[in-house]
Amino acid sequence: MKLRTGFVSNSSSSSFCILGFVADNETCRKVDFASREQRKRVHTERGISNYMDEKLIGIDASQIGNDETPRQVKQELIDVLQSLGVTVKFEDIDWCKDGGYNG
């Protein structure tokens, strides 16, 4: 998979590809207020077109190493969330892609 990491000229467009899940507000707050050390690579995203303003939690595809498997990344996500008091099922985590106008 190729990821664009350079300059984006249209600042009103946004897109992402994460290995994650749709989360409720309480779970997003726990992740957002956790220290960087606690949450490691885990972050929240707001959907635009595919997820229509839903909130997602996951690990960005650009932060996943070539030597990491999706299973390993899912387990990292589960471990981080458990340390924050959040339970998520392994089978609920999947690739979430979204993009479009965010204006």
Alpha helical stretches, state H, the chain = 25-33, 36-39, 70-83
Structural domain boundaries, residue 79: 16-89
Residue 32, domain member (yes or no)? yes
Residue 31, domain member (yes or no)? yes
Q: How do residues 52-87 score in pLDDT, each as one tens digit?
A: 889 999 999 999 999 999 999 999 999 999 999 999
**What percentage of the chain reaches a pLDDT higher than 70?**
83
Question: What span, in angstroms and rounded, lies between the C-alpha atoms of 100 and 83?
Answer: 33
Residue 80, domain member (yes or no)? yes
Residue 95, domain member (yes or no)? no
Task: Please tell me the total count of domains within the chain.
Answer: 1
Residue 58, domain member (yes or no)? yes
Q: How do residues 31-61 score in pLDDT, each as one tens digit?
A: 999 999 999 999 999 998 889 889 999 999 9
Residue 7, domain member (yes or no)? no
Q: Which of 11-15, 24-28, 64-68, 93-97 has the lowest mean pLDDT?
A: 11-15
Residue 1, domain member (yes or no)? no
